């Protein structure tokens, strides 16, 4: 975490349910409703827009007495006392100050958000094997965790060469299947050093995940992940009969439960900004506190889609 005009902090989160953040379109593919992926790697992710949108709603939900107006019809509504406005634009409002608002509210200028979120990428991905579940990672993933401050410089202990097609793990066995693919164990040691393991355990990563880490080459990581996503089949329900609606069967994919994600946020110090010509007095710690309070709601209300179908819950481990 860097202190100054801004604070940068890395987070680790573990999915308690499968996570489905859909693309918003239905197409002819392996499943009808696919999930958002990184274009360059084809790896599933939770986009920053989903993170920011859900947190904005949950921070408002936390301050229900301020954001719930009689007759609004839903919670949270908005912070403005004037029914014709969407934002109160007050210097102590946790929504207007932290998440900002667009230009155009009765001629008022917009205000930028005090927090920037970045996509949540898969750090450790659960895969079934002949010796039970393991969690798969790659050299590029561990390197990214070092850059974001989630691992120390000496945290990764990668022994695999970039051109090798084997595995590195201290899980016993000369060969290991990751779903349908069977690979040789080329290095019989953990992909994390003792300091890396100790640091992640201190952040709340479960010991079983750290004990059963498997390092795969970067070129195979996307293949392993996409081959082991959860796929479900559902159907729409006829509201008149209560039975399945004919012709409404569809399939959708999700990132499985117990996946560990890594993402970052940058918090700006409000004291460097003015709102409506008035200098803000709230400190950056106030911003961090409110955002991390909103993250706790993910554990109960979820993130993404299909939350009424048993999906979406996620726990931030180091908030």
What average pLDDT score do residues 163-183 get? 90
Contact 130, 177 (CB under 8 A): yes
Share of the chain above pLDDT 90, in %: 62
Contact 306, 20 (CB under 8 A): yes
pLDDT value for 5:
82
pLDDT in tens, 260-298: 999 999 999 999 998 878 899 999 999 999 999 999 999
The token pair at 226 is 């996409």
What average pLDDT score do residues 182-196 get? 94
pLDDT above 70: residue 75: no
CA distance 177 to 130: 7
Which has the higher per-residue pLDDT, 39 or 80?
Answer: 39
Contacts of 261 (CB under 8 A, 6+ apart): 12, 13, 14, 15, 46, 120, 121, 122, 123, 314
The token pair at 310 is 């048993």
pLDDT above 80: residue 8: yes
pLDDT value for 23:
83
pLDDT class for 26, splitting at 50, 70, 90?
low
Domain-by-domain residue ranges, the chain? Answer: 1-124+255-319, 129-227
What average pLDDT score do residues 37-42 get? 93
């Amino acid at each position: 975490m860097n202190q100054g005009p801004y604070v940068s902090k890395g987070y680790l989160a573990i999915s308690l349910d499968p996570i489905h953040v859909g693309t918003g379109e239905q197409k002819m593919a392996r499943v009808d409703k696919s999930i958002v992926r990184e274009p360059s790697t084809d790896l599933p992710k939770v986009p920053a827009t989903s993170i920011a949108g859900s947190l904005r709603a949950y921070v408002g939900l936390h301050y229900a007495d301020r954001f719930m107006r009689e007759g609004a019809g839903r919670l949270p509504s908005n912070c403005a006392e004037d029914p014709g406005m969407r934002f109160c634009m007050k210097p102590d409002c946790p929504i207007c100050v932290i998440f900002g608002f667009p230009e155009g509210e009765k001629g008022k200028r917009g205000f930028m958000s005090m927090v920037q979120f970045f996509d949540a990428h898969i750090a450790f991905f659960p895969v079934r094997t002949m010796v039970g579940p393991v969690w798969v990672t790659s050299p590029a993933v561990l390197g990214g965790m070092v850059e974001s401050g989630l691992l120390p410089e000496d945290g990764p202990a990668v022994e695999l060469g970039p051109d090798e097609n084997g595995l590195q793990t201290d899980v016993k066995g000369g060969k290991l299947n990751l779903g349908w693919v069977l690979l040789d164990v080329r290095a019989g040691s953990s992909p994390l050093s003792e300091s890396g393991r100790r640091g992640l355990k201190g952040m709340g990563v479960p010991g079983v995940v750290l004990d059963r880490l498997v390092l795969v080459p970067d070129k195979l990581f996307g293949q392993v992940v996409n081959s082991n996503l959860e796929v479900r089949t559902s159907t729409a329900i006829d509201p008149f009969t209560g039975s399945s609606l004919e012709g409404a069967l569809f399939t959708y994919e999700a990132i499985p439960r117990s996946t560990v994600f890594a993402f970052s946020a940058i918090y700006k110090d409000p004291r460097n900004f003015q709102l409506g010509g008035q200098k803000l007095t709230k400190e950056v710690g106030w911003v961090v506190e409110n955002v991390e309070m909103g993250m706790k709601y993910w554990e109960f209300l979820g993130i993404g889609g299909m939350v009424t179908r048993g999906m979406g819950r996620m726990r931030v481990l180091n908030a």
